Chains A and B, each alone.
Chain A
Amino acid sequence: MSQKRFSLIRTLGIIFMITYIVFIAFPIYWQLNTSFKHIGEVRKIPPTFFPKHFTLSPYINVMNNPMARKSIYDSLIISITTTLLSVLIGSLAGYAFARYPKYAGGENLSFWMLSVRMFPPIVFILPFFFIFNNLGLTDTYFSLIVMYFTFNLPLSVWLMMMFFGDIPRELEEAAYVDGYKPFRAFFKVTLPLVLPGMVSVVMLCWIFAWNEFLFANVLVGTRVKTFPLVIPTFASGSSILWNQVMAFTVIAMLPPIILFIILRRYMIRGLSLGVVKG
């Protein structure tokens, strides 16, 4: 009797799964589908579920658009700088928290750092808008780098703390006994072992900076423009060139997705800690 009920539940479960997969996959499919069409085909009703005339021109047009190019360039500069700073400073603190929790300030300090990440950014935006304005720093790389660095640092500290904590202390002790001083032992043993973890922290910090919209919207926008600011402007007004907008979004979301697929193994842990995002 339970066999029958069981298979009913199974069937319902499979239907449910398929519905969910379609829900997740359809928008991505539609985005890709649109990005390879000419604008005339995009506006056609009923829509075509596969490009009749496959074209790369939306991509070429976007790449030739100076505003789009500049925005990708600005995004790259800001996210790379932010990431390097966050991972470097975060690793120092993470190591101290993992190895010498008491001397480094203990659980309370590390949790305080984490909580900074969790505060709604709106709490920080207005004061920083004010101070950067007074210092003439709005619309500069510096303003965004400072903010992203601040928001990435707690995540970096925490994940590095976990990754360093995973490396048995005795490995370092063995190196000391072998005759290596702490600094040399760190480079011989600890760093190579923590590197995969560090790579995933680099990823997460980079994605945060790459994707961020709100700070960018308030703090920059004229001389400096990251692509999350530029894409919505492409999609405003009348007679929007949706094929180009979608091509632009595909270009912009490609780097994080490719990196994620390469590095997914390391990222699951970061995700399960639930501190992935801002």
Chain B
Amino acid sequence: MARIRFENITKKFGKTVALKDVSFDVDDGEFFVLLGPSGAGKTTTLKLLAGLYKPTEGNIFINDKNVSEDPPYNRNVAMTFESYALYPHLTVFENIASPLKAPGRNIPSKEVKERVERVARMLKIDQLLDRKPAEASGGQKQRIALARTMVREPDIYLLDEPLSHLDAKIRYELRQEFHRLEALKGVTTVYVTHDYVEALSLGDRILMLDHGEVQQIGKPREIYEDPANIRVAKQVGQPDINIVECVTRVEGEKIVLMPKNEPTINIEISDEAQAAFRNNTYPEVLLGIRPQFIKVGEIPGSQIFDGRVDVYQVLGSEGVLNVEIGDLNLIALTSPEDRYTHGEEIKVYFLKDRFYFFSPENGERIRFS
């Protein structure tokens, strides 16, 4: 049971800055996800929490106690490593028992055995206990690493990409298991991933990290529906969000967006957005349209574009359509029953209420009201 407070943490390795002025709080019992591309500083954040690194600047509090300079063995945290970090010379049993046998814990060996076996049963690796980690499959190694973490009763769980090395199917199953694992419920957990589906599915809250800086902190829905900047919008969502570089211009009464590489069309935008762009505060904007908000067909009241099918792929539960509008190449999501052929002429419209606008200078979201 623990609250975490990260206060203006900067971490440098020599001259490279891994984290820049990162602050966040994690509530007691919360499942907190760190999301970001590789090299964003996620693992560094975890290792700072574990006490493996010392912050260059700033302070870390666990339960209001400043632990910035406490070594890992004095913080009651458990961590799984992305590399698993299983001890290759010890059996699976000894690996899992390792934290219980650490000096100062003084747990009787009978209890150690019980606890290891209980956690092994829970993670379905009880048949492996006498083997060496090298004899286990990737998914099993993952569970062994997890078992070594969960056999303890720590204040905080730190999980570094626990599902990243697994194939899609096992990944899905384990994700389901994470929801069911009683042990994880009620214990503060910090979970690192680069996969937004994992983040959205597991997290109570998500911290989006990139280039060592906090991009956004929020509930999964907020991160997805209300991204703070273009980096968050790109990281979350599959296929990638469409980004169109545009110039704002006055067309009669209206303010419209003219794509830079396709100046023949004008994209109409909502009244709110028009109001925001009217004073020419943003001569240029980046327009973000999620693929599911580009529709094929025509409905009254919408602006209709003439499109041509470039590539169409059916991926099981959805269809992914690359459509060309002049020189604009956009990705749209369709129903998997739809059929399109290359070069086919189609009509396309956008849901203009779901447009995102970003500043071309810094990628920040342009908000109205």
Chain A residues closer than 8 Å to B77, beta-carbon distance:
177
Chain A residues closer than 8 Å to B86, beta-carbon distance:
174
Is the pair A176, B52 in contact by a Cβ cutoff of 8 Å?
yes
Residue from the set A175, A177, A178 with the largest chain B CB neighbour count within 10 Å: A177
- Quick one: given A178-B98, A178-B148, are A173 and B103 in contact (CB under 8 Å)? no
**Chain A residues touching B, range:** 10 to 19
- Of the candidates B78, B83, B98, B104, which one forms a contact with A175 in the assembled complex, judged by CB atoms under 8 Å apart? B98
- Of the candidates A168, A174, A193, which one forms a contact with B89 in the assembled complex, judged by CB atoms under 8 Å apart? A193
Interface of A is mostly: helix
With an 8 A cutoff between CB atoms, is A264 at the interface? no
Name the CB-closest residue of B to A189.
B87
Name B residues whose Cβ lies closer than 8 Å to a Cβ of A. Answer: 14, 47, 50-52, 71-73, 77-79, 81, 83, 85-89, 98-99, 102-105, 148
Number of contacts between A and B (CB, 8 Å)?
62
Is the pair A168, B85 in contact by a Cβ cutoff of 8 Å?
yes
- Quick one: given A176-B71, A180-B102, A181-B103, are A171 and B87 in contact (CB under 8 Å)? yes
Mask: chain A, 185-219; 1 = CB below 8 Å from B; 0 = not: 00011001100000000000000000000000000
B112 → chain A closest CB, angstroms? 13
Name A residues whose Cβ lies closer than 8 Å to a Cβ of B. Answer: 102, 168, 170-171, 173-181, 184, 188-189, 192-193
Chain A residues closer than 8 Å to B88, beta-carbon distance:
193
Interface of B is mostly: loop
Name the CB-closest residue of B to A167.
B88
Residue from the set B52, B102, B103 with the largest chain A CB neighbour count within 10 Å: B102
- Of the candidates A168, A170, A181, A192, which one forms a contact with B73 in the assembled complex, judged by CB atoms under 8 Å apart? A181
A167 → chain B closest CB, angstroms? 9
Chain A residues closer than 8 Å to B79, beta-carbon distance:
174, 177
Is the pair A179, B73 in contact by a Cβ cutoff of 8 Å?
yes
Is the pair B72, A177 in contact by a Cβ cutoff of 8 Å?
yes
Closest 7 CB pairs of A and B: A179-B102, A174-B85, A178-B99, A170-B85, A176-B72, A177-B79, A192-B89
- Of the candidates B85, B99, B104, B148, which one forms a contact with A173 in the assembled complex, judged by CB atoms under 8 Å apart? B85
A36 → chain B closest CB, angstroms? 44
Name the CB-closest residue of B to A173.
B52
Is the pair A184, B99 in contact by a Cβ cutoff of 8 Å?
no
A171 → chain B closest CB, angstroms? 5
